C-alpha cells in the first residue's frame, strides 16, 4: 500500500532545452577569429547537437531531424530567400543545394545498415540466432570457464551481424536459467551476466554493420579515403577477438567459481519452412558477398540492397516487420552524416584543427587521443551520438596531421564501442544490469579493465592491423 506521485522530468528537460538554445546562440554573440560566417552558423548547430545528444532532452533521432532542418535552412541555397540569407565562407565558395543535406537520409551507408537490419529481422523471426547458439555451444563442454568462453564467442559472432541489443537480449535469455541454477553466493553469476553484454559490445566492432558508430565512421570517410567491408573486418576483427579473450580472462580472474559443471542444453528447433530457407540462403549469400568484396568488386552498399530486395519481394519480411525496423537508428546516423558534411563544406574542420599545432603530435598519440575521447564520451552518452560528434572532427584532424583518416575514424568508432563501465553506457549493459544478476561495482571494475585494455590495444596495434589490411 505504497503511494507514489508520478515522477516529473519536465524541469530537467526544459533546462536542457534552454541550454541547447543558449548553445545555439553563443556563436552569434561571439566573433571567433579566423572562422567564416558559414563556420559560425555551423558551430551553432554543432553546439546545439552536443547539448541535445548529451542530455537527450528530445529523442536522439529528433535531434538529427532538427540538425538537418537547421543545416538546410541556414547553410544551403535554401537560406537565400530567408530573413538571414546566405552566409559567406564556404570552402567551395558557394553554398550547397539543400539536397546535399537531405540526401544524408538515404546515404549509401544507411542502405548497408538497413541490409543488416533485414538479416537480424530474419534471424529473430526464424530463431536462427538461438539455434546457432545451441549448435556452437556444444563443443565447449560443461566446464564453467569453457561455457563462458563459448557463450562469449557466440555472442560476439552474432553481434557482428545483428544489433548489440538484440544479440544481448537473445543470449541473456539463454544465460538467465544458468545463473538461476548457480548458488546465489557464487561469484561466477556475475561473470556470466557480464560476459554476454561485453561480448555483444565487442562483437559490434568487427564489421561495418555491427554497430551504428561503424556506419558513421564509414560515412565520414567518404570524401577522404576508402575502406571496404573486408578491409574493415581485417583490422577490426583481430581487435574484437583479442578483446574477447582479454575479457574472458578478466572475468575468470575477478569472479572465481566453485562449481565444477554447468549443464547447458538448449534444444535447437530448426525452422524448415520455405520462407526460412529463403532467409537462410539470402543471409549466407549476403554475408559471403560482403566478406569477398575484394574478389568480385561489388561494393558492400549494393550487396546490402540484396537482402532488402529478396526478403521484401518474397514476403519473408512482411509489411508489419518492415514497418517495425529500427528506422530511428538510421535517422540518428543520418543526422551525424549531415553534420559531418556540413563541417567539411563550411571550413569549420580546418578552423578547429588549426587551433592546435598537430604536426607535433605523433600518429599513435592522435589515435589514442581520439579513442580515449570517444570512450569517455560514450560511457555517458549514446555510442552513436558520440561518434556523430567526433567523427567529422577526427577526419579533419587526421588529414591536417598527415596521418591516415581511416585510422583516426576507426579509433573513434572502435573507441566508442569500448564504453562498458556503467549500466547506462550501452543498452546491452542496461539489460544485464536490469536482470539483477550483476552489481554496478562489478560492472565498473570489469568494464574499466576491458576498456583500458581496448584503449591500449587501439593505440599500440590499430595502425599495424591497418597496414596488414592494406590501409595507409
Partner 1 sequence: MITILCLEDESEVRDAILRDLRPFESHFRIEAAGDAADAAALLGDLAKDGDSLGLILCDHRLPGESGVDFLTNINADDEWRHSRKILLTGQAGQQDTIRAINHGGLNHYLAKPWNPEELRNAVRDQLTTFVIEQNIDPLPYLAILDAERLLEKIRSIGAP
Q: Which residues bind partner 1 (CB under 8 A)?
A: 1-6, 60, 124, 163, 165-166, 169-170, 172-173, 176, 212, 324, 326, 328-329, 332, 382, 384, 427, 430-431, 434-436
| Nearer residue to partner 1 within complex by CB, 97 or 328 | 328
Q: How far is the CB of 159 from partner 1 (least distance, A)?
A: 12
Q: By C-alpha distance, which of 229, 205, 219 is closest to 419? A: 205
| Nearer residue to partner 1 within complex by CB, 6 or 85 | 6
Q: How far is the CB of 172 from partner 1 (least distance, A)?
A: 6
| Nearer residue to partner 1 within complex by CB, 169 or 344 | 169
| Nearer residue to partner 1 within complex by CB, 125 or 143 | 125
- 275, 316 contact by CB (below 8 A): yes
> What is the rounded CA–CA span in Å between residue 238 and residue 464?
11
| Nearer residue to partner 1 within complex by CB, 1 or 83 | 1
How far is Cα of residue 79 from the mean position of the Cα atoms in its chain? 33
Instruction: Round to the nearest angstrom and report the end-to-end CA distance of the chain.
Output: 66
Q: How far is the CB of 260 from partner 1 (least distance, A)?
A: 26
Q: How far is the CB of 117 from partner 1 (least distance, A)?
A: 9
Task: Give the Cβ contact number of residue 14 at 10 Å.
Answer: 11
> What is the rounded CA–CA span in Å between residue 51 and residue 182?
44
Q: How far is the CB of 122 from partner 1 (least distance, A)?
A: 13
Q: How far is the CB of 429 from partner 1 (least distance, A)?
A: 11
Q: How far is the CB of 437 from partner 1 (least distance, A)?
A: 8
Please give the grid coordinates belonging to residue 31: 566573433
| Nearer residue to partner 1 within complex by CB, 6 or 297 | 6
> What is the rounded CA–CA span in Å between residue 214 and residue 205?
7
Task: Give the Cβ contact number of residue 63 at 10 Å.
Answer: 26
> What is the rounded CA–CA span in Å between residue 230 and residue 292?
7
| Nearer residue to partner 1 within complex by CB, 6 or 33 | 6
HSE (CB half, 13 Å, CA atoms) of 403? Answer: 26
Q: What is the DSSP letter of 105?
A: G
Give kind and range of the element (H or E) at residue 64: helix 60-75
| Nearer residue to partner 1 within complex by CB, 116 or 238 | 116
> What is the rounded CA–CA span in Å between residue 16 and residue 22?
10
> What is the rounded CA–CA span in Å between residue 89 and residue 75?
10
Q: How far is the CB of 430 from partner 1 (least distance, A)?
A: 6
> What is the rounded CA–CA span in Å between residue 417 and residue 249?
19
Amino acid at each position: 500500500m505504497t503511494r507514489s506521485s508520478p515522477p516529473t522530468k519536465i524541469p530537467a528537460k526544459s533546462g536542457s532545452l534552454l541550454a541547447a538554445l543558449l548553445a545555439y546562440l553563443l556563436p552569434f554573440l561571439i566573433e571567433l577569429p579566423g572562422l567564416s560566417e558559414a563556420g559560425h552558423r555551423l558551430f551553432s548547430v554543432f553546439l546545439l547537437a552536443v547539448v541535445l545528444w548529451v542530455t537527450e532532452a528530445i529523442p536522439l533521432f529528433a535531434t538529427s531531424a532538427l540538425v538537418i532542418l537547421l543545416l538546410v535552412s541556414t547553410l544551403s541555397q535554401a537560406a537565400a530567400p530567408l530573413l538571414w540569407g546566405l552566409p559567406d565562407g564556404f570552402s567551395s565558395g558557394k553554398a550547397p543545394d539543400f539536397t546535399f543535406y537531405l540526401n544524408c537520409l538515404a546515404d549509401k551507408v544507411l542502405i548497408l545498415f538497413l541490409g543488416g537490419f533485414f538479416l537480424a529481422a530474419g534471424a529473430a523471426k526464424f530463431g536462427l540466432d538461438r539455434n546457432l547458439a545451441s549448435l556452437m555451444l556444444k563443443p565447449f563442454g560443461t566446464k564453467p570457464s569453457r561455457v563462458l568462453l563459448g557463450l562469449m564467442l557466440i555472442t560476439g559472432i552474432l553481434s557482428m551481424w545483428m544489433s548489440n541489443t538484440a544479440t544481448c537480449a537473445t543470449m541473456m535469455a539463454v544465460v538467465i536459467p544458468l545463473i538461476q541454477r548457480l548458488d546465489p553466493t557464487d561469484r561466477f553469476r556475475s561473470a556470466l551476466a557480464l560476459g554476454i553484454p561485453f561480448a555483444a559490445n565487442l562483437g559490434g566492432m568487427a564489421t561495418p554493420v555491427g554497430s551504428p558508430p561503424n556506419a558513421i565512421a564509414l560515412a565520414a570517410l567518404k570524401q577522404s579515403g576508402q575502406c571496404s567491408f573486408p578491409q574493415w573486418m581485417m583490422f577490426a576483427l583481430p581487435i574484437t577477438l583479442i578483446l574477447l579473450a582479454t575479457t574472458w580472462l578478466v572475468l575468470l580472474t575477478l569472479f572465481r567459481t566453485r562449481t565444477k559443471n554447468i549443464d547447458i542444453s538448449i534444444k535447437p528447433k530448426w525452422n524448415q519452412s520455405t520462407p526460412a530457407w529463403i532467409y537462410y540462403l539470402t543471409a549466407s549469400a549476403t554475408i559471403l558477398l560482403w566478406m569477398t568484396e575484394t574478389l568480385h568488386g561489388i561494393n558492400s552498399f549494393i550487396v546490402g540492397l540484396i537482402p532488402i530486395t529478396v526478403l521484401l519481394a518474397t514476403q519473408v519480411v512482411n509489411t508489419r516487420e518492415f514497418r517495425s525496423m529500427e528506422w530511428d537508428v538510421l535517422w540518428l546516423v543520418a543526422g551525424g552524416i549531415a553534420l559531418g558534411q556540413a563541417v567539411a563544406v563550411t571550413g569549420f574542420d580546418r578552423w578547429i584543427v588549426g587551433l592546435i599545432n598537430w604536426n607535433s603530435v605523433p600518429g599513435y598519440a592522435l589515435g589514442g587521443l581520439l579513442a580515449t575521447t570517444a570512450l569517455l564520451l560514450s560511457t555517458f552518452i549514446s555510442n552513436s551520438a558520440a561518434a556523430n560528434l567526433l567523427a567529422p572532427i577526427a577526419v579533419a584532424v587526421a588529414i591536417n596531421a598527415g596521418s591516415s583518416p581511416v585510422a583516426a575514424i576507426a579509433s573513434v568508432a572502435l573507441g566508442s564501442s569500448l564504453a562498458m563501465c556503467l549500466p547506462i553506457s550501452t543498452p546491452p549493459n542496461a539489460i544485464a544490469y536490469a536482470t539483477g544478476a550483476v552489481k554496478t561495482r562489478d560492472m565498473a571494475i570489469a568494464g574499466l579493465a576491458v576498456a583500458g585494455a581496448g584503449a591500449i590495444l587501439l593505440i599500440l596495434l590499430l595502425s599495424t592491423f591497418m597496414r596488414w589490411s592494406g590501409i595507409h
